[in-house]
Amino acid sequence: MSGIEAMKTIKLGMCGLGTVGSGTVNLFAQSGGAVNRRAGATLEIAHIGARRDNPLCDTSNIRVSRDIFAVVDDPEIDIVMELVGGTTVAKEIVERAIRAGKHVVTANKALIAEFGTELFELASEHGVALRYEAAVAGGIPIIKALREGLAGNEINWLAGIINGTTNFILTEMGSAKRAFADVLAEAQALGYAEADPTFDVEGIDAAHKLVILAAIAFGIPLNKNAVYTEGVTRITPADLAFAEELGYRIKHLGIAKLTESGVNLRVHPTLVPQSQLLSRVDGVENAVLIDGSAVGPTLYCGAGAGAAPTASAVVADVVDIARELVADQLPQVPALGVDPESIRPLELVSMDEVVTPWYLRLNVYDKAGVMSRLSSILSDHGISIEALIQKPPVRGEATVAVVILTNPAQQANLMSAVAQMEALESTTADIMCIRVENFKA
């Protein structure tokens, strides 16, 4: 071949041909040449397993099986892309592929969050890679940044907008002053939210992603039961407006923090200062802010979902593995970025002990002495007031809104104060409590 060495061909199998699958087929069709240059190999989608075709991509030159497992069992396939989703069939696919000595790329956060530990071990036993960049924050290469790019740092904390659906909903509620249910319906119509939105709006999806990020950040086991999870369903346009007035925005964050008493993992609506770029990441965008001991805070933003962005992450993993295959070598980067032998659980900090400033919105009856009673309850608990908004009474309404921004307070203590406030005759029993994060070291 006149001095030019032929590039090695690496055969890819794809299980599942939904949004991400069709995006990946299209990516190779459009940018395959560029990807091959990066991989140093010819990457070829050689076999797709899918119960039905997807009109969003052209698979006419690819072998397609209706039996998804035909791909896993195909001896020609070097790398299996698991794009089925869920944790039943997907788990079987991944396990069977690993046992057959194939490398695996998955976009499945639930699978990694729930079964990552055993799957990584299985992959390690069989000397194959199991990669999952697409599982968190779509196309943003956040797993690689945390696992490799920041390897010189001890991670102090990270905080991310890691669910595009809730970020879209909060952004719309804030900018258009529309109610949650109204915006949710629009998000569903636009395809940003599922018919059953529970997974997104209750924070379960974000919790899965946070579990993965925290395991890499702190070298702890994947533990989905460790995450305190609170959704966005109770947030009102009034809260978004008050937050704005106080110099904040409300974002639905996944937060992982290392403290002296252990690790704290939580997903909840959060007031973020407007001066912080994270507060300005809007719509379906995702972003992760990571505080490293050496580098300080670094921020990563981009598309967190969608066919092409997710395919971008899947293909990056495929290229990583292809580079290893070209060099005829074994995977070098541990699945969670640390020597598996060194993974140790850390004490979980109970939410009762977590200290943050708080945003409280109360409805009080417009009577003399209310404010004095509220502030003495806080004062009795040793909680001081950072800012306060009391709006003039609206004609015809029995109550007025009072918003209090507290200084940092331990949650148990704050909740005790809130219970006393709610017990007051002058206050209605529905105080809205939202945590604040100022992201100071």
Interface with a copy of itself by CB under 8 A: which residues? Answer: 4, 7, 23, 27, 30-31, 34-35, 37-40, 133, 138-141, 144-145, 148-154, 219, 277, 280-281, 292-303, 308-309, 311-316, 318-320, 323-324, 326-327, 329-330, 332-334, 337-339, 341-342
Q: In the complex with a copy of itself, which residue's Cβ is closer, 154 or 397?
A: 154
Q: Give least dist CB 284 to a copy of itself, A.
A: 11
| Active-site residue flag, 209 | yes
**Beta-sheet strand order (sheet of 79-82):** 63-65, 42-49, 9-15, 79-82, 103-106, 130-131
Q: Which of 209, 224, 251, 257 does the annotation list as catalytic? A: 209
Q: In the complex with a copy of itself, which residue's Cβ is closer, 46 or 362?
A: 46
Long-range contacts formed by 231-235: CB under 8 A, 24+ apart: 231/166, 231/201, 231/202, 231/203, 232/166, 232/169, 232/170, 232/180, 232/201, 232/203, 232/269, 233/180, 233/201, 233/202, 234/432, 235/170, 235/173, 235/180, 235/269, 235/434
Cα–Cα dist 186/181, whole Å: 9
Q: Give least dist CB 74 to a copy of itself, A.
A: 23
What residue has token string 């918003």?
403
Q: In the complex with a copy of itself, which residue's Cβ is closer, 256 or 318?
A: 318
CB burial of residue 19 (10 Å; 0-12, 13-18, 19+): buried
Q: Give least dist CB 426 to a copy of itself, A.
A: 42
Cα–Cα dist 277/372, whole Å: 37
Q: In the complex with a copy of itself, which residue's Cβ is closer, 62 or 70?
A: 62
Residue 56 carries which DSSP code? T
Q: Give least dist CB 294 to a copy of itself, A.
A: 4
Q: Give least dist CB 130 to a copy of itself, A.
A: 16
* Residue 351 contacts residue 266 (beta carbons within 8 Å): yes
Q: In the complex with a copy of itself, which residue's Cβ is closer, 203 or 292?
A: 292
Q: What angle, rounded to 10 degrees, do the helices at 370-380 and 411-423 form?
A: 150
Q: In the complex with a copy of itself, which residue's Cβ is closer, 181 or 294?
A: 294
Cα–chain-centroid distance for residue 43?
29
Q: In the complex with a copy of itself, which residue's Cβ is closer, 198 or 438?
A: 438
- Strand, helix or coil for residue 6: coil
Angle at 425 between CA 419 and CA 426, to 5 degrees: 100
Residue of 340, 304, 285 lying closest to 118 (CA atoms): 340
Q: Give least dist CB 338 to a copy of itself, A.
A: 4
Q: In the complex with a copy of itself, which residue's Cβ is closer, 336 or 354?
A: 336
Helix (H) or strand (E) holding 96: helix 89-99
Q: What are phi and psi of 76, to 5 degrees?
A: -75, -20
Q: Give least dist CB 142 to a copy of itself, A.
A: 9
Other CB atoms within a 10 A radius of the CB of residue 399 amount to 15
Q: Give least dist CB 327 to a copy of itself, A.
A: 5
Residue of 140, 150, 141, 147 lying closest to 120 (CA atoms): 147
Q: What positions carry a catalytic annotation?
A: 209
